[in-house]
Amino acid sequence: MGMEGRPLADHVFTWPSDNPALIGGVDSRGRLRFPFMGRPGETPVELAREGLLWSWTVQRFLPKQPPYLGRETKGEFRPFALGYVELPGQVRVETRLVDCAPEQLRIGMPMRLTIRPLFRDEQGQDLLMFAFQPVA
Amino acid sequence: MSDVAIVGIGIHPFGRTPDRTGLEQGAFAVRQALGDAGVGWDQVQFAYGGSQDAGNADTLVSDLGLTGLQFINVANGCATGGSALISAYGAIRSGQYDLGLVVGFDKHEQGSFRVRPADWGLPEWYGEVGFALTTQFFAMKIQRYMALHGITDDTLIRVAEKAFANGALNPNAWRRRALSYEEIAQSTMISDPLRQYMFCSPGEGAVALILASPKRAAQLTRKPVWLKAAAMRTRGAGSFEVFSPSLSVEDGEGATPIAARGAFAMAGIGPDEIDIAQLQDTESGAEIMHMAENGFCQDGEQEKWLREGMTRLEGKLPVNTDGGCLANGEPIGASGLRQVYETVLQLRGDAGARQVPKTLRTGYTHVYGAPGVSAVTILAR
């Protein structure tokens, strides 16, 4: 993909990859959850890359820092959309939503996984995280 | 089995009290409850109490008196007050004790609750990307509920309008100015579809209750209100809860309907027999969903209920008669007990300007909180 930067956290999505996928975990009782937490008896599994928007909202105020990693000020903060995308037969994943204005978001619309730079570390390197975008 | 009597109630005004610690507010409420019951601190045999951010409840003995009583601290998130009440209820029903105290108080920093992801078994990145906010959860839950059940913004606005109208009549409320429909409709969008005046804020306050066995209650002058049921429950598999990086694709039952069923079974009555209800309204959407989750209406009927004023003070089922969390704020340790305080006041007929204008026999209280807990009580005269 030629994207610079490193994942914000390990084992959240397959990386580096031309076709990344989120990594879920199946526990010893067969229950699938996201993310894979590396618990005893938990097996990692790649999740579907497309699903349907299950619900959404927009974060319109600057979250408390920490835990929020963004270093912007109240004035610099730009609202972001988030929601749950239902991956068919798997799980509903909480995710940032990109490439779509809030007024265009509709429950049930098809969404696809993408990897995006979210923050920069102190060395100026991009920190990558997953998001979902509308299927064009 | 015998019921448990509530024989005394006390409250420290909710809101912001910069010159008083949470513990001092707790002691204030306890003294008021003792006075209301007509008993001395030295007669109290046991206590359950808690706060999330304002210190150890059992520290209150250094202020109230070192009588040597049993004092157990309770920490159960938004169900702290309810859990303390259930514990005291059990202690009296078992016959172990005759007279006890339940106290909840809190004092939170301003703004949204700061969350440490590790406390909730979550990976650090969940907070880092800006997900660990309860406001987002409530917004996404009502967003989907509105789409599924035909609820509109109008109903969200009417819930807030009612809360502040009731709060204006409550001398202990934090927000005591009635807000107009337009003010609410035009307030800043916080987390779509919820606006500024549709959310409660973390705040401060304290509530204390004195509980007694029927035999002990008979020795006191005040006519008791009876605790007919007290149930605290956790979530079922597949429910939609706050702080969930993923959800099951198979819908399950949340903590509220489970707790509601448990409480109705204990009391031996149904939702139709409840005269007033205090339902957790962390924001407008929560009250709407909790009306159905507790069994008071079908999904989608809230649109009609709110439009016709059925949950106002003069309506069929007055809801959040003291202004709820929206007008009182949310001091986590105190909110559940505030609902009980208000219900006792209403059942006694002592609620002043906000007294529900009909004969009240029963009342219902409900809290919900992270990570999927609910506490319900049913009271009767």
Contact B56, B42 (CB under 8 A): no
- Mean pLDDT for B123-129 is 96
Is the CB of residue B296 less than 8 Å from the CB of residue B277? Answer: yes
pLDDT at residue A1, as a whole number: 47
Percent of chain B residues past pLDDT 90, beyond the cut: 92
Which of A59, A61, A67 lies closest to B127 in CB terms?
A67
Across the range B258-282, mean pLDDT stands at 97
Q: How far apart are CA B321 and CA B342, in angstroms?
A: 8
**A102 Cβ under 8 Å from any chain B Cβ:** yes
Angle at B360 between CA B359 and CA B361, to 5 degrees: 120
Rounded Cα gap, residues B101 and B84, in angstroms = 9
Q: Return d(Cα B167, Cα B325) in angstroms, integer.
A: 10
Whether the Cβ atoms of residue B367 and residue B82 lie closer than 8 Å to each other: yes
Minimal CA separation from B188 to chain A, in Å: 9
* Closest chain B residue to A56, measured at CA: B140
Domain for residue A1, yes or no? no
Percent with pLDDT over 70 in chain B? 99
Instruction: Classify residue B353 as exposed, middle or buried by CB count within 10 Å of its CB (0-12, 13-18, 19+).
Output: exposed
Task: For residue B177, tell me if it sits in a domain.
Answer: no
Q: CB B129 to CB A118 under 8 A?
A: yes
Give me the total of CB pairs closer than 8 Å, taking one residue from chain A and one from chain B.
115
Chain A: closest CA distance from residue B179 (Å): 22
Distance from CA of A42 to the nearest CA of B (A): 15
The vertex-B289 CA angle with B286 and B295, nearest 5°, equals: 130
d(CA B69, CA B43): 9
pLDDT in tens, A89-129: 999 999 999 999 999 999 999 999 999 999 999 899 999 99
Residue A2 reports pLDDT greater than 70:
no
What's the rounded Cα separation, in Å, for the pair B50 and B262? Answer: 23
pLDDT at B259 > cutoff 60: yes
Residue B168 placed within a domain: no
The 3-state DSSP composition of chain A as helix, strand, coil percent (nearest 5) reads 0, 45, 55
Q: Which whole number is the average pLDDT over B206-232?
A: 96
In a domain, A30, yes or no: yes
- Domain holding A112, by residue range, is 6-134
Q: Are B59 and B23 in contact (CB under 8 A)?
A: yes
The β-bridge partners of A93 are A85, B246
- Other Cβ atoms within 10 Å of B119 Cβ, number: 11
When scoring B114, B115, B125 by the number of chain A Cβ atoms within 10 A, the one with the most, hence best to mutate, is: B125
Interface residue A54 vs chain B (CB under 8 A): yes
A39 reaches B (C-beta below 8 A): no
Is B145 a domain residue? no
What is the bridge-based pairing of β-strands B46-50 and B99-107?
Answer: parallel
Give residue-wise pLDDT tens across range B12-38. 999 999 999 999 999 999 999 999 999
Closest CA to A66 of B118, B119, B243, B116: B116
Are A66 and B127 inside 8 Å of each other by CB? yes
Q: What is the pTM of this model?
A: 0.95
Q: Is position B341 within any domain?
A: yes
Range B122-145 burial, b when 16+ CB lie within 10 A, else e = bbbbbbbbbbbbbbbbbbbbbbbb
Residue B120: pLDDT band (50, 70, 90) is confident
Helices (H) and strands (E) in chain B, counts: 13, 12
Evaluate whether residue B25 is within a structural domain: yes
CATH code, domain with B36:
3.40.47.10
Q: Are B157 and B211 in contact (CB under 8 A)?
A: no
The reply to whether residue B191 touches residue A58, judged by beta carbons under 8 angstroms, is yes
Q: To the nearest whole angstrom, how far is the Cα of A85 from the nearest Cα of chain B?
A: 9
Give chain A's domain count.
Answer: 1
Whether B315 is covered by a domain: the verdict is: yes
Q: In sequence order, which residues have a C-beta less than 8 Å from that of residue B219 and are 6 or more positions away?
A: none
Give pLDDT, residue B64: 97
Please give the tally of structural domains in chain B: 1
Interface with chain A: mutation pick from B109, B128, B135, B241, highest number of A CBs within 10 Å: B128
Average pLDDT for B276-297: 98
Q: How confident is the model at residue B119, as a pLDDT? A: 85
CA distance B297 to B304: 10
Cis upstream peptide for B271 (omega within 30°): no
Q: Give tens-digit pLDDT for B40-69.
A: 999 999 999 999 999 999 999 999 999 999
Question: A109 to chain B nearest CA, in Å?
Answer: 13
Would you call A82 an interface residue with chain B, using a CB distance cutoff of 8 Å? yes
CB–CB of B192 and A60 under 8 A?
yes
Residue B247 lies in a domain: yes
Average pLDDT over residues B235-254: 93
| Residue B212 contacts residue B98 (beta carbons within 8 Å) | yes
Residues in a beta bridge with B234: B373
Pick B246's closest partner by Cβ from A68, A93, A118.
A93
Q: Which two tokens stand for residue B64?
A: 């109230």
Cα Dmax for chain A: 47
Give A81 to chain B, closest Cα distance, Å: 9
Question: Which residues constitute the domain of residue B252?
Answer: 4-111+200-380
CA B263 to chain centre: 15
User: Do B272 and B236 form a contact (C-beta atoms < 8 A)?
Assistant: no
Q: Do A33 and B125 touch (CB under 8 A)?
A: no
pLDDT at A103: 93
Tokens of residue A99, six digits: 């490439």
CA-based R_g, chain A, Å: 16
Residue B151: inside a domain: no
Closest CA to B17 of B95, B105, B92, B83: B105
B68-80 residue pLDDT tens:
999 999 998 888 9
